[in-house]
Amino acid sequence: MRIVCNGEEREVDRDIRVAELIRTLELDPALVVVECDGDIVIRDEFESHTLKEGSVVELFRFVGGG
Protein backbone atom coordinates (compact mmCIF):
# COMPACT_ATOMS: atom_id res chain seq x y z
CA MET A 1 0.00 0.00 0.00
CA ARG A 2 1.03 3.63 -0.32
CA ILE A 3 1.46 6.14 2.45
CA VAL A 4 2.80 9.69 2.56
CA CYS A 5 5.83 9.89 4.83
CA ASN A 6 7.41 13.30 5.49
CA GLY A 7 5.85 14.63 2.32
CA GLU A 8 6.97 11.80 0.04
CA GLU A 9 4.87 8.94 -1.26
CA ARG A 10 6.23 5.61 -0.19
CA GLU A 11 5.28 1.98 -0.88
CA VAL A 12 5.07 -0.09 2.31
CA ASP A 13 3.71 -3.48 3.41
CA ARG A 14 -0.01 -3.64 4.08
CA ASP A 15 -0.95 -2.80 7.71
CA ILE A 16 2.61 -1.91 8.56
CA ARG A 17 3.14 -0.89 12.19
CA VAL A 18 4.81 2.39 13.11
CA ALA A 19 7.68 0.55 14.76
CA GLU A 20 8.41 -1.38 11.56
CA LEU A 21 8.36 1.80 9.49
CA ILE A 22 10.90 3.38 11.84
CA ARG A 23 13.12 0.28 11.55
CA THR A 24 12.83 0.32 7.77
CA LEU A 25 13.95 3.95 7.75
CA GLU A 26 16.89 3.08 10.02
CA LEU A 27 15.82 5.54 12.71
CA ASP A 28 16.21 5.22 16.47
CA PRO A 29 12.68 4.96 17.90
CA ALA A 30 13.85 6.61 21.11
CA LEU A 31 14.75 9.78 19.24
CA VAL A 32 11.77 10.41 17.02
CA VAL A 33 8.21 11.49 17.41
CA VAL A 34 5.54 10.32 15.04
CA GLU A 35 2.43 12.09 13.93
CA CYS A 36 -0.08 10.03 12.02
CA ASP A 37 -2.96 11.78 10.23
CA GLY A 38 -2.53 14.77 12.51
CA ASP A 39 -2.41 12.87 15.81
CA ILE A 40 0.68 12.17 17.86
CA VAL A 41 1.47 8.46 18.23
CA ILE A 42 3.12 8.01 21.60
CA ARG A 43 6.17 5.80 21.83
CA ASP A 44 4.33 3.06 23.73
CA GLU A 45 2.01 2.63 20.77
CA PHE A 46 4.68 2.29 18.07
CA GLU A 47 4.35 -1.50 18.13
CA SER A 48 0.57 -1.55 18.03
CA HIS A 49 -0.31 1.37 15.79
CA THR A 50 -0.90 0.20 12.23
CA LEU A 51 -0.90 2.44 9.19
CA LYS A 52 -3.59 2.44 6.57
CA GLU A 53 -3.65 3.03 2.86
CA GLY A 54 -3.04 6.77 2.32
CA SER A 55 -1.91 7.48 5.89
CA VAL A 56 -0.03 10.73 6.24
CA VAL A 57 2.92 10.17 8.53
CA GLU A 58 5.28 12.81 9.86
CA LEU A 59 8.48 11.94 11.68
CA PHE A 60 10.21 14.60 13.74
CA ARG A 61 13.30 14.81 15.91
CA PHE A 62 15.44 17.38 17.61
CA VAL A 63 18.07 19.26 15.70
CA GLY A 64 20.33 22.14 16.63
CA GLY A 65 18.48 25.38 17.30
CA GLY A 66 18.60 28.62 19.24
Partner 1 sequence: MLSIAGRKFASRLFAGTGKFSSSAVMIKAIEASGAEMVTVALRRVDLNDPSDDIMSVLDREKYFFLPNTSGARDADEAVRLARLARAVGGGDWLKLEVTPDPRTLLPDPVETLKAAEVLVKEGFTVLPYINADPVLALRLQDAGAAAVMPLGSPIGTNQGLLTIHQLEIIIEQARVPVVVDAGLGAPSHAALAMEIGADAVLVNTAIAVAQDPVKMAAAFAKGVLAGREAFEAGLGSHRTEASASSPETGLDFLR
DSSP string across 10-52: EE--TT-BHHHHHHHTT--GGG-EEEETTEEE-GGGTTTPBP-
- Is 43 a binding residue for partner 1 by CB under 8 A? The answer is yes
Cα–Cα distance measured from residue 50 to residue 21, given in angstroms and rounded to the nearest whole number: 10
- Is 62 a binding residue for partner 1 by CB under 8 A? The answer is yes
Of 2, 6, 13, 48, which one interacts with partner 1 (CB under 8 A)? 6
- Is 58 a binding residue for partner 1 by CB under 8 A? The answer is yes
Residues of the shown chain interacting with partner 1 in the complex, contacts defined by CB under 8 A:
5-8, 25-28, 30-33, 35, 40, 42-43, 58-66
